[in-house]
Amino acid sequence: MRHAVTYVLLAGGLLSLAGCDSSDAPTSWSEYALRGAYTASISSTGTYSAIGSFDHGGSLWTLENNERLYNWNHKAKTFSIIAATAFSPEEKYAATANQQDLVLWNLRNGQAEGFWSSPAEIMQMDLSPNGDYALLGLANHTAVYFDVKQGGVKRTFRHEARVRSVDLSDDGSLALTGSDAYKVKLWSVETGELLKELSLGNVVDTVALSPNMKTAFSAGSLDKAVIWDIDSGTEMHILSDIASFSQKRISYLSARFSPDSQQLLTGTASGLVQLWDVTTGEQLKSWRVHRRDAYGPVQAGVYAVGFGQDKYYALGSNGFMNELQ
C-alpha cells in the first residue's frame, strides 16, 4: 500500500504542473490524519468516513461534526496498516482490512463482529447489505465473495491479473471488478456468471455501480474513463481519453453515483473532484481539495468521495476531509 500512495503523490505532482484551473475551493476542511492516509471510504449518505492513517491505524469519523468515534485496529496496542475500508449500503456495518486480514465492525457500538484471514492480499473491498458478505479484490488474480459473519468464500470470480478495484450493487446481486489485465467485468453474484466485459488501455483503478443498476463507471490509470450502460455494455460518455489531444491524462481514484443515479462524483490523483450529469455526460461542477502546503508542488489524491445533504465530501490522501458545495 505504501507503493500505491507514492504513485498517487507522484501522479498528482506531475498533473499539477499543467497549471491552475477554474475549479472551486472547498467550503471547509478538517484534518482526520496528521501525516496522511493509506485508504478511506465514505458511507452511502455521507454520515461516516472510515480511514486508515499513517499514524493511528484505522478509525471511524462522523462527517457532520468531524468527530472521531472509534479507533479500529486489528491488534491491541498496535496501529494496523489499513489497506482497504468499506461500508454496508444501509450504514449498519463497516469493514477494515490490512493486506491479509479483515474485520467487520458494528457502527452502532464500534465493536468487532468478525475477524478473518483472506485467501490472498487484499487490494480493495466492498460490503453487501447488512454486512453479511465482502467482495474482495485480491492480488492472486481473483475476486471473492466472502462471508464475513460465518467465514468462508461463497463465490470466486477469476481474472487474468490482480483485481485492484471492486464494487457491489446496493442489493448485492451484481459485482463489478477491475484488474491489472486492463479488464472491467460485471458478474452475477448468485451464479458467478460473467455478464459483461470492457477493455481499457491500462490497469483499472476505479469502478462504480449506480444504485439503480443501469449505469457504471470505469477508469484506467492515466487512461480512458467512461460511463457505460450495464444492460448493453456500450459506452455512454467518455470523461477522459488518452486518444484525445484535447484531454489530459487523468487517473481517477474514487467514484460514487448519487442516490438517484442521476449524477456521478469522481476524484482524481491530482486532487480534482468533478460532478457529472450521467444522462448528458456534462461536467456540472469541479473543486480542488485542500492542500496541506499551499505552495508545494504536490496535490493530494482523492481517496473517497460522497454525497451528503445538499453538499459533497472528498477525503484527500493528505488526511483532510473536504466539504464541497
pLDDT digits (tens, 9 = 90+) for 313-325: 999 999 999 999 9
Residue 15 is predicted with a pLDDT of: 37
Nearest CA to 81 out of 183, 4, 158 is that of: 4
Cβ partners under 8 Å of residue 22, min gap 6: 286
Residue 118: which of 97, 132, 93 has the closest Cα?
A: 97
For residues 88 and 129, give the distance between their C-alpha atoms in angstroms, rounded to a whole number.
5
3-state helix, strand, coil in the chain (%, to 5): 5, 50, 45
φ, ψ of residue 10 to 5 degrees: the values are -65, -45
> What are the φ/ψ torsions at residue 132 (nearest 5 degrees)?
-75, -35
The x, y and z cell numbers of residue 144, run together, are 471473492
pLDDT score at 247? 56
Which of 311, 239, 312, 246 has the alpha carbon at shortest distance from 273? 312
Residues 6 or more apart in contact with residue 24 via CB below 8 angstroms: 285, 286, 287, 288, 324
Residues of the chain with pLDDT under 70: 1-21, 241-248, 296-298
Task: For the beta carbon of residue 31, count every other beta carbon within 10 angstroms.
Answer: 12
Alpha-helical regions (H) of the chain: 2-16
Cell matching residue 316: 484527500
pLDDT score at 294: 74
pLDDT value for 5:
35
Amino acid 35: pLDDT = 87
- pLDDT tens digit string along 18-46? 345 689 999 999 999 988 999 999 999 99
What pLDDT score does 107 carry?
A: 97
Taking CA atoms, 239 is separated from 98, 246, 248, 249, 305, in Å, by: 32, 12, 10, 11, 17
Of 76, 79, 80, 85, whose CA–CA distance to 104 is shortest?
A: 85
Confidence (pLDDT) at 77: 84
Q: Domains, the chain, ranges and CATH?
A: 2-324 (2.130.10.10)
Q: Pairing state of beta strands 225-229 and 215-220? A: antiparallel
